[in-house]
Structure 1
Amino acid sequence: MMRFSLGEVKDVIEAALECNIFYFDDKFYKQKQGLAIGHRMVLVLAVIVFHHIEKSSLTSGNLLYKRYIGDVFIVETTEEDFVETLKRLKFHDANITSTREDLGRDGFLPFFSAKTQISEGHKEHLWYRKSAPPNRLLHSRSACPIYTEAHVVQNLLKTKEKLWLLRD
């Protein structure tokens, strides 16, 4: 097994981050701020950065906390706790922005392809899809390779099956 020193790991990360170029529609682009979404280091660095932020920001009082890369789903016991948690998360970086979803009429809170309800300590998760205008659908001849599109569809179907029956 190869072992790298901390300095070597730092050098590799810095070199990878300097090459912040992506290819789309037969053209090369350079990302000026942040990382290009297709950059190989984005997922790893997002996990590392958010893990650091979470360790110093979250308390044990969160009813439910889930994160998918840079998107966070938080359920708190009170409005004040929620506001305080957001303040602690934003304290680490001014570029961290948040949007807030409120409970729907059915009492569920949406997050990606699911919606969640906590009632009397039990969590219920259901399949959910926000309505989208027709021009926002993924076209079959998009920039994504066909195998990527196939995997996206397969994963959506698997997730739907899991969420359809999932109850805490």
Structure 2
Amino acid sequence: MARIVYCHPAKTKYGLHLYTDLDFWDARKILRDVALVKRNFGDSPPGDEFPSQVVREDASPRVHALIKRRLLKAIPAPPRHVVVRSLLIDGFYEFDPWRYFPRRWSSSLIEHFLSYRLPVDHGVLNSPYNTYRLEWHGNTVRVVPEKRPQKHDPVIQTRRQARRHLLVPTCF
């Protein structure tokens, strides 16, 4: 369940302006046909905790309820730009999974979910020479990059794979 913080009406020019803890790419995918999703580079609320802002010119109650319903159903993950920054600076990224995921989830389900939500197409985590692994340290999950034993060249067999390989969100 994603968290929502509403912008003060005096600080916005939009009819609906809110911040969410969903990653920018996830929020954009969820709300693509309803509202405009922007990045939050500000400090109120902090962009590392609430990386996305959702804006819409008109704020009809029906559209507002639709946006809120979609956001409350979504499950957030650590923001991709925070993961990449931590990997570049510290060499690993460690976080508490219970801050993002429901308590009823098993560790294997969390690992499966993270395999789709981590920025695995980014060169820091996945390149011909690098890959990553997830480690559990007590109640925290650590993402650790590691060198591949030999160069890995992916085999692209379909147009869809080729398009996905080209359109990688490498900037955050």
Length-normalised TM-score, structure 2: 0.27
Name which structure has the greater RCO, CA cutoff 8 Å, separation 6+: 2
Greater C-alpha radius of gyration: 1
